[in-house]
């Protein structure tokens, strides 16, 4: 497959194509589609809509706009990255990384050093991209960030989100986006250091629609006390499939992981890395400012 062509989008026709792609990525709720006129207005006022094309077909886009954050030293500008959408048949192809890398380059040219966005912390594909590959970090858990969502991917669950910080001029990010990016972490890296997960999920066997057996991951009732500079927190490797198989179990994971991450962030831990290996997925939670390097 040829590498996608990445370019800035500005015309009404291009924004209409972005509307159509939103409907494909997040089906089921027309009111959640960002309309073309809003996208155009954003681009005329410092916002960015970036498209990925293969043979002139739009297969992915990233959309963000300037924002303001309030710090102890006063307000400062940032870029708020609001949407990243990839055609379902192009996921895991590197398109998302290519779009975010282009966003990184363009926002730096605007003179900004900070990009924020939100994502569902139980989606391992998104966590692997955002935390492991891009080098974003998180210590901000936001309960029901968008209220009751109606699209086909989010309906029925509290819209809890991580709000990540992407400090785009740091060595940490440049190492991941440079010509020789850092390789993925492995579980053996932590087992050698005698680091153990905060909890051990329960493996539950159930029957699928075809009558066959399938294994589902169930959260435990409790997790260990938070001690040490590094912690591992496991999540389901495919939360979307788990939700389709057992919606009540998906809700259990939402509330259990909410408690884990809120407790960890309040204790000074930051989500700084992610491991996705052999059908298992773990956040790496680090304690200390050095993790931002």
Residue 290 has a pLDDT of 47
Q: Among residues 85, 116, 121, 158, which one has the least CA distance to residue 234?
A: 121
Q: Please give the mean pLDDT across all residues of the chain.
A: 91
Task: Give Cα separations from 209 to 85, 212, 213 (angstroms).
Answer: 29, 7, 9
Digit-coded pLDDT (tens) for 101-122: 999 999 999 999 999 999 999 9
Domains in the chain (CATH in brackets) are 5-177 (3.40.630.30), 187-292 (no CATH)
Digit-coded pLDDT (tens) for 60-95: 999 999 999 999 999 999 999 999 999 999 988 899
For residue 187, pLDDT beyond 90: no
For residue 174, pLDDT beyond 80: yes
- Give the contacts of 264 (CB within 8 A, at least 6 positions apart): 226, 231, 233, 285
- Distance of alpha carbon 156 from alpha carbon 144, whole angstroms: 11
Model confidence at 194, pLDDT cuts 50, 70, 90, reads low
Residue 140 has a pLDDT of 97
For residue 216, pLDDT beyond 70: yes
Residue 205 has a pLDDT of 78
pLDDT top residue among 107 and 149: 107
Model confidence at 213, pLDDT cuts 50, 70, 90, reads low
Task: Give Cα separations from 64 to 13, 19, 73, 83, 279 (angstroms).
Answer: 19, 15, 25, 7, 32
pLDDT top residue among 221 and 154: 221
Helix axes 36-43, 12-25, angle to 10 degrees: 120
Q: Which residue has the tokens 């999540």?
A: 235
Residue 292 has a pLDDT of 53
Which of the listed ranges 32-41, 89-98, 175-184 does the model predict with the highest average pLDDT? 32-41
- Distance of alpha carbon 54 from alpha carbon 117, whole angstroms: 26
For residue 6, pLDDT beyond 60: yes
Mean pLDDT of the region 195-215: 76
Mean pLDDT of the region 249-259: 97
Mean pLDDT of the region 128-155: 87
Model confidence at 214, pLDDT cuts 50, 70, 90, reads confident
What are the residues facing 53 on neighbouring strands? 5, 58
Mean pLDDT of the region 39-49: 97
For 143-220, list the strands marked E by DSSP: 161-167, 202-207, 213-218
Model confidence at 32, pLDDT cuts 50, 70, 90, reads confident
Read off the pTM.
0.92
Residue 156 has a pLDDT of 76
Cα dihedral across residues 288, 124, 52, 149: positive or negative? negative
Mean pLDDT of the region 253-269: 97
Model confidence at 193, pLDDT cuts 50, 70, 90, reads low
């Amino acid at each position: 497959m040829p590498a996608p062509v990445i370019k800035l989008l500005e015309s009404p026709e291009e924004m209409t194509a972005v509307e159509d792609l939103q409907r494909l990525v997040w089906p089921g709720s027309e009111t959640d589609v960002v309309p073309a006129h809003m996208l155009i207005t954003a681009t005329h006022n410092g916002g960015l809509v970036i498209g990925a094309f293969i043979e002139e077909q739009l297969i992915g886009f990233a959309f963000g706009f300037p924002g303001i954050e309030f710090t102890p030293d006063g307000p400062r500008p940032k870029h708020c990255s609001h949407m990243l959408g990839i055609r379902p048949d192009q996921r895991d192809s590197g398109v998302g990384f290519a779009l975010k890398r282009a966003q990184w380059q363009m926002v730096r040219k605007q003179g900004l050093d900070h990009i924020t966005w939100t994502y569902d912390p139980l989606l391992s594909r998104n966590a692997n991209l955002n935390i492991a590959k891009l080098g974003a970090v998180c210590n901000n858990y936001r309960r029901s960030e968008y209220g009751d969502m109606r699209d086909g991917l989010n309906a029925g669950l509290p819209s809890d989100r991580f709000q990540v910080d992407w400090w785009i001029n740091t060595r940490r990010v440049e190492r991941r986006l440079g010509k020789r990016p850092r390789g993925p972490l492995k579980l053996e890296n932590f087992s050698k250091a005698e680091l153990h997960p905060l909890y051990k999920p329960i493996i539950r066997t159930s029957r699928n629609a075809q009558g066959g057996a399938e294994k589902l991951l169930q959260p435990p009732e409790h997790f260990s006390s938070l001690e040490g500079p590094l912690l591992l927190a496991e999540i389901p490797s495919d939360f979307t499939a788990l939700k389709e198989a057992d919606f009540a179990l998906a809700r259990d994971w939402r509330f259990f992981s909410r408690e884990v991450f809120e407790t960890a962030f309040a204790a000074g831990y930051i989500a700084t890395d992610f491991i996705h290996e052999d059908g298992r997925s773990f956040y790496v939670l680090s304690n200390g400012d050095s993790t931002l390097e």
